[in-house]
Amino acid sequence: MPFTTTELQSIASADEVLIETRAADGRTHRTVIWIMVDEGAVYVRSVRGDAGRWYQRAIADPTVKIVFGPLELDALARPAPDEQSIQRASDALRRKYPAGASVDAMLQPAVLHTTLRLESKG
């Protein structure tokens, strides 16, 4: 299910969000991440590649929550390692965040395959 236009606008304007993931023991964890929107698609990527704990938990249990400001959005995290999704997420990242070492880290070949597409559960 797609996010609403209002939700997409809010996500696109958020510099950082918290992604809430669930560990195997049921405990929830929140991690600050960057989030990108491209033509209605919402993407996130692990700057630590496969080593990112939030990423590992999202792969194991794709039910996540995006938290920013007063909003909490339930979502499903779907792997998006295909070339088109990676490129769209990378382009959205470059448009949204200022050039520098942090953006460069998110564009390293070793982390590109950790691109996830978030879909609304609402």
Q: What CA–CA distance (Å, rounded) separates 24 from 26?
A: 5
Report the b/e string of 30-41 with b at 16+ CB within 10 A: ebebbbbbbeeb
Answer yes or no: is pLDDT of 122 > 80.
Answer: no
DSSP string computed for 13-30? H-S-EEEEEE-TTS-EEE
Instruction: Provide mean pLDDT across the span 58-62.
Output: 98
Domain range list for the chain? 5-120
Mean per-residue pLDDT, 24-28: 96
- Domain 5-120 belongs to what architecture? Roll (2.30)
Q: What are phi and psi of 115, to 5 degrees?
A: -65, 130
What does the pLDDT average to over 73-81?
Answer: 97
